[in-house]
Structure 1
């Protein structure tokens, strides 16, 4: 066993950015990694030499497992291959799946390998005779993970539909013995979020992550939830693993935390801050832990278990943490069950301030002399408000230790994740920016829609830029701190009356850039420390302040305005509210301060940007496009829907399954990229832009059944143009308009009044619609339309209505005078 003094080795740049996996050989001599390129890296754990490289001939390796002499990997190209750990050479192709393979598992005897893939069927193949195969067919959807029971008699499959399937392998044909629902969440096969099953080393139960960011233990007898590892993560869990003897469990999440748990009491031992962790593996014999990130980096943490607890790693296999330990043959469970609990704690709970007698130690079972119970030196101890007994956790944790809010994760609008070796950094109405991983460096391409005005740009990127913004004046990039280098901003102008104005600036050490924004006048960077940094286009620092609500989620800008979104107070659903602050940077004015972004219940923000006319716009996970109305008036802003994409005519009747990637709002249209089937992000070749007219969601009637001049259509026309007119009028009040813009306002008023006149005619045709007809007349935007309304009333022989409309017109004239 290695020393428990903690140290970290890394980062080692094992693979290009992308999902990266790892495993140890059972004897602990070698550590293997695989990732987004076509190589397996073989590290000798006791050596600092460069790793050996094994060519897999397949890009985007998604899973790896090893015995002492064999290595098996699977890939998105549907191949599952066998390699020699002795010669580091390929031996044979084990099988080829119909759809991308996602995970592999090796049976405890090393004779069979199981493969989970986007197919519904899990294939199990014999390593010696590849013609001998077994099939697991009960799954109703694609499969994400597969795991063998320590005995090899059972195998579990984690399906993307949120169901765990457990099969028995004791007969010639696998038999489905249990479907466990309600534990893991529904996930996409390519998601970084984990839904795997990890069998406890003693085989009596398994652990699995839940949708509430916890890990629960499920017993193998009743298939019921037992104890749980709860409260330490505020975002989805990306991986977790038992220590070799089950005394500890380690988990990693998208919240940037690696958490070490003590298994028996499910207590947090230590928390380490490492971002983007996607895979974890314990060393089979040493007090060491290795993990990889989606940036392709490998770390090894020695002495992960503290010195005072390291003795527990030397113990025999620990029992699974079940509520009723009746199966523990040593009788420990029976003693624990029959012991009488402390009556004070049973009545008062662990949050009590009451003193507790020291003979409490009598009912805590010290079953392994591994340090679970330490003798008290004091006669009396106290249960404090945190549920801690003289600095140690009591049997029942306090509420504060098992719950933490869910936050909105930072993101860059219009950027996509890595897929293969490519990703988009920016997509908008000006053009596209994408990057390609070349191994030692990236290459960045800027392609414009208008090639007559701009020339496409292609350059080598040694800094590994991960965010970008693009407009008519220039392109902005940012990169994260790496190997001692700080985070940096890079601005590249398209053209200038002087020499091309490129510049870089670095941020203070330890500060990461979470999102950036670029306008005609300013550059904005939001950082991991809550700072909002504003620069001029020539790199002069202009403003710096710390956002009140952190962590900052994202930002957007237009001319002198900047919109900053952050995590606010916790709502009733246990999730932080997404808040926004809107400021005029030039005048140093705050227009809206920490107001709430109107998201649907349980929904997420997909993108935020400014429209062509400079109005803030969001697109949510329900497919609704909303604009911020009256945002120039402090305290008056509200989010108004302009389009619900789920009601588009092209989707009526379930004829198509598609979603939409927001790009821009311009010319009263929603510009987007159509994503077919289950696609979540645009991919290559460069997609085409589509556009849809605004349609305010007012009626449940399908669009294909709606007549153009029906009452529903006219009411929608009135509502939509009223919203757009209010945006134009707010803009007109804030600046001097040109003649074209003034004409657009008049045209908008005409559209509103035209729709209202048609509604008035429909009301006049009905006998009992007089009051509604007069109400419609009160909505006209122009006084002259009332003259036309009088004529309409007379045409339909509504003399009383005509008189009342005339009175309304006279009243308006008097008010104007």
Structure 2
């Protein structure tokens, strides 16, 4: 409940009437205020006496920023002045602009100063070398406010055109990474209303006042709207400031109110009546907030946070108010340590510092590093054997031999592969894709009290899109031509639930819902034409018929479970297996025919390079298992119907695509399906890892088995260029030969192990003929090269599959065309040997 204060704080007249600004030093010992007159005041924290005055300063000041040693003042005369806090005197000019300064700010480490003015260009100045300046030029109008993020690697500009411009300062040349429209309003530089972006202390999000007098939080990276502070002010907002730990937000507005918000709930917890407030600053460590107004007064408010809420200031760094916190998302491209159920144990293994760790987001200087020191905390002398270089001299006794309780060791933890749902994406803002495939897509939107789910199809002649309100908060989905499958996690006393909705029925109601045992969660699920497969946190694999009849339940051997996929009566399950030499668990897969109760492959190893992960797993339209891994490689499983004979074969390495050959494109691919002998995916630009809205277009790539990467000739010599062309031609034929051999082997397995149709057998015969044609084309290239390539050409003849002799006869004609008489004789000998072998059979 919000508290309205009745005690009026006595303001201190600091400056003449006009805009007034303030800044605490990072150590909190001093508060600096500037205003319209030419006197700067420095207040000592905890001292009620008169402040220290620095006279003969510029007039009409428009901003102030400070470190523990100095502070900067920007003014309408176009100068940015530096003053020493040691001498309390002017030091030097940092920069000068031809038009009035509008904002000046320092990075958290005090190394960089940003300056905006009524000019179009923003300056970023190195403080230890003011001749080193970066210029931000992309904005078309003057910038009203500036804001460094806590790391100093990004800066947000609130421009008078109503857009926020975010620049990356990581490289020597600043890079505009985002233009944000619809967040702030259009203002003039001299307006008292604020459009300032204020970064949350954890650096992952920022807040800004909107035209509707709300405060909108936006996440960095995906640039999505997160939580909103609403129903607070009745006037335009003039100032914002997060508490040092991010647990609270203070705001002031034209309604003569100063509000204190709790970050976690976005609720007002205290209201204060003060007019014309235009700048706010929190003390770095104390329950103290100061603010200034347009009358030139400064208010230093001790115990600003009411006693019943003061515990919020004692909390550690709090997270920004996300709708869905990215740090809590489980990525499909990640491995996590085994924690025996203790999910809060951090990973201190070789992979410390994954892209989603809080250490990386905040920086090691903030979080600290506990891995690079030895502590002798119980006097046992564990550190005493180290020499000046921190190493143990030869012959020293190993201090770690002895009682386990008397040493401080670093626990080794294996890295496990997280579970994931194929075809889904993590939350971005308030929405995510639950399923993406060639049938359509399922997506959900978080509406706080409930979700809304939309199912859309590519082919509207067969299915109609539908939309419904989701009170169960489904977080996984599968979609095929028969129906849509959903599941939700357990919530309070409600167990995890599975819901299936068929697209077409001949009864009044055919959808069904079932609950898992209490405490059991769905880790992944799949939907085929015959069965529903669900893997759970209890390591169970649960099989249902399409209309909810429990068909089979068994415990998976490899655990924890990772994911599953299915096609007709076949189910593929993935789980974590034994730990490899690199500290990562080996992924094991099992394929079985559920209806025949027959295991095709049992706990075989998924072929992954060291340290890599699986992005997706699915069956092709022909029913062959496929995986797409974090190296960007698509692989299929060959001979998977024969126990212990399965082999993972690469079909496409996306890093070798010709579209990436120039090196100018930066893109990755989100796997969707394998169909019509093509890889269907979504192209992701830049550093994006997952597709987002609006609905992305599907792209497709032909298979191209990675064989070689032939360098281009640098010389302009015609002979060399011709040789290069012939090499490219032969390389294409070789790639076609290997690919067609793989596809033919898959077709052969399909014919041998199923009740194949006439069209499938005809397709197999046609594929074998295509292989022979490719071999003849390769042979023709070899014959053109000369007689010395004859042995290689003859070897190609021996690979021909045709049993009638027609292809060998055609090979002899190719040799004759190029005048390779010796080769022709050898080919006839091969033909005669093959004919006699057939007669003996």
Please classify the TM superposition score into its range, dividing by the shorter chain length: 0.5 to 0.7
Structure 2 residue aligned with 1:746, among 765, 772, 775? 765
Summarize the Cα distance change of 1:585–1:471 in structure 2 as closer, same or farther, 3 Å threshold. same
The aligned runs of 1:161-180 (5 Å cut-off) are none
2:469 maps to 460
Query: Partner of 2:192 in structure 1?
Result: none
Structure 1 residue aligned with 2:691 = 682
Q: 1:732 to 1:106 in 2, by over 3 A?
A: farther
**SS of match in other structure, 1:578:** strand
Q: How does 1:457-496 map to 2 (within 5 A)?
A: 457-496=466-505
Task: State how 1:701-740 maps to structure 2 within 5 Å.
Answer: 701=710, 710-740=729-759
> What's the counterpart of residue 786 of structure 1?
808
- Counterpart of 2:327 in structure 1 is 192
**How far does the alpha carbon of each residue in 1:580-638 deviate from its partner, in whole angstroms, 9 at most, with x for none?**
11111111111111111111222111000000100000001111100001101111111
Q: Does the CA-based 8 Å contact 1:487-1:511 persist in structure 2?
A: yes
Residue 499 of structure 1 deviates from its aligned partner by 3.4
Residue 768 of structure 1 deviates from its aligned partner by 1.2
Q: Matched residues in 1 for 2:613 and 2:235: separation?
A: 39
- In the TM superposition, residue 708 of structure 1 has moved relative to its aligned partner by 10
2:604 is aligned to: 595
1:753-807 CA-partner distances (Å, limit 9, x unpaired): 1221111112223221121111101111213211101111222222332222222
Partners of 1:105 and 1:411 lie apart in 2 by 43
Q: Counterparts of 1:544 and 1:625 in 2: how far apart (Å)?
A: 31
In the alignment, is the contact (CA less than 8 A) between 2:589 and 2:604 conserved in 1?
A: yes
CA contact (8 A) 1:54 1:89 kept: no
SS at structure 2 position matched to 1:87: strand
Supply the RMSD in Å over aligned alpha carbons. Answer: 4.7
Correspondence list, 1:51-90, <5 A: 65=243, 71=249, 86-87=270-271
Counterpart-to-counterpart distance in 2, 1:568 and 1:647 = 31
Q: Does residue 285 of structure 2 align to residue 108 of structure 1? A: yes
- 1:377-396 matches, within 5 Å, as 383=403, 387=404, 393-396=405-408
* TM-superposed deviation, 1:808: 2.0
Aligned partner of residue 461 in structure 2, secondary structure: coil
Aligned partner of 2:182 in structure 1 is none
For residue 710 of structure 1, give the secondary structure of its aligned residue in structure 2.
Answer: helix
Given the alignment of the two structures, is residue 530 of structure 1 paired with residue 530 of structure 2, yes or no? no
Equivalence for 1:440:
449
Q: Tell me, what secondary structure is at the counterpart of 1:806?
A: helix
CA distance in 2, matches of 1:507, 1:793: 69
Structure 1 residues 333 and 632: alpha-carbon distance in aligned structure 2, compared to 1, 3 A threshold: closer
Paired position in structure 1 for 2:344:
258
Alignment of 1:234 with 2:364, yes or no, is no
Q: What residue number does 2:308 align with?
A: none
Q: What SS class does the counterpart of residue 337 from structure 2 fall into? A: coil
Q: 1:412 aligns to what SS in structure 2?
A: coil
Q: Aligned-pair distance for 1:127?
A: 7.0
Instruction: Report if the CA contact (8 A) 1:649-1:702 is conserved.
Output: no
Residues 493 and 711 of structure 1, relative CA distance in 2, 3 Å threshold: same
Check conservation: 2:278, 2:291, Cα contact below 8 A.
Answer: no
* Displacement of 1:750: 2.6
Structure with higher Rg: it is: 2
Deviation at 1:110, TM superposition (A): 7.8
The one of 643, 649, 660 aligned to 1:651 = 660
Question: 1:801 is matched with which residue?
Answer: 823
- The residue aligned with 1:141 is none
Tell me, what secondary structure is at the counterpart of 2:271? Answer: coil
Q: Distance in 1 between matches of 2:234 and 2:382?
A: 52
CA deviations on 1:334-356 (whole Å, 9 max, x unpaired) are 9998899xxxx98465454xxxx
Q: Bigger CA drift: 646-655 or 712-721?
A: 646-655
CA distance in 2, matches of 1:513, 1:21: 35
Counterpart selection for 2:638 from 604, 629, 647: 629
How much does 1:721 deviate? 0.8
Counterpart of 2:833? Answer: 811
Q: Distance in 2 between matches of 1:415 and 1:564?
A: 17
**Secondary structure class of the residue paired with 2:417:** coil
Q: Map of 1:344-355 to 2, 5 A cutoff?
A: 347=397, 349-350=399-400, 352=402
CA contact under 8 A between 1:82 and 1:94: conserved in structure 2? no
The answer to whether the 8 A contact 1:21-1:279 is kept is: no
Which residue does the alignment assign to 1:768? 788
User: Partners of 2:201 and 2:502 in 1: how far apart?
Assistant: 39
For structure 1, the 5+ residue unaligned runs are 1-19, 24-32, 42-51, 74-80, 96-103, 113-125, 131-149, 151-155, 157-188, 195-210, 214-232, 236-252, 267-276, 281-318, 353-382, 388-392
8 Å Cα contact 2:443/2:454 also seen in 1: yes
Q: Does structure 2 retain, via aligned residues, the 8 Å contact 1:40–1:54? A: no
Asked if 1 retains the 8 angstrom alpha-carbon contact of 2:653 and 2:705, the reply is yes
**1:301-700 mapped onto 2 (5 Å cutoff):** 323=373, 347=397, 349-350=399-400, 352=402, 383=403, 387=404, 393-397=405-409, 402-700=411-709
CA contact 1:764–1:773 (8 Å) conserved in 2: yes
- Deviation at 1:466? 0.5
- Contact 1:69–1:85 (8 Å) recurs in 2: no
Structure 1: distance between partners of 2:440 and 2:587: 29
Q: What is the correspondence of 1:291-302 to structure 2 with a 5 Å cutoff?
A: none
CA distance 1:487–1:718, shift in 2 (3 Å): same
Which whole-Å CA distance do the structure 2 matches of 1:679 and 1:57 have between them? Answer: 39
SS in 1 for 2:477: strand
* Distance in 1 between residues matched to 2:755 and 2:247, nearest whole Å: 77
In the alignment, is the contact (CA less than 8 A) between 2:544 and 2:550 conserved in 1? yes
Deviation, structure 1 residue 496: 2.4
Q: Tell me how far apart the structure 2 counterparts of residues 320 and 709 of structure 1 sit (CA, whole Å).
A: 54
Asked if the contact 1:39/1:56 (under 8 Å) is kept, the reply is no
Residue 111 of structure 1 and its aligned partner are, at CA, apart by 8.7
CA–CA separation in structure 1 for the residues paired with 2:759 and 2:779: 30
CA distance in 1 between counterparts of 2:234 and 2:610 reads 45
Indicate conservation of the 8 Å contact 1:517/1:523, yes or no. yes
Q: Distance in 2 between matches of 1:260 and 1:814?
A: 70
State the distance in 1 between where 2:493 and 2:790 align: 76
In 2, Cα distance between equivalents of 1:666 and 1:57: 58
Contact residue 277 and residue 291 of structure 2 kept, 8 A:
no
Is the CA contact 2:457–2:465 (under 8 Å) kept in the aligned structure 1?
A: yes
Contact 2:435-2:442 at 8 Å conserved across structures: yes
Alignment correspondent of 1:369? none
**Aligned counterparts, 1:30-45, within 5 A:** 39=227
Structure 2, gaps ≥5 residues long: 1-199, 204-215, 252-258, 262-267, 295-312, 318-323, 349-355, 360-368, 387-394, 714-723
Secondary structure, aligned partner of 2:481: coil
Q: Which moved more, 1:514-523 or 1:696-705?
A: 696-705
Provide the secondary structure at the position in 2 that maps to 1:612: coil
What whole-Å deviation, never above 9, does each CA across 1:508-560 have from its counterpart, x for those lacking one? Answer: 01100000000000000000011000011111111111111100000000001
C-alpha separation between the residues in 2 aligned to 1:706 and 1:57? 72
**Count of matched residue pairs:** 541
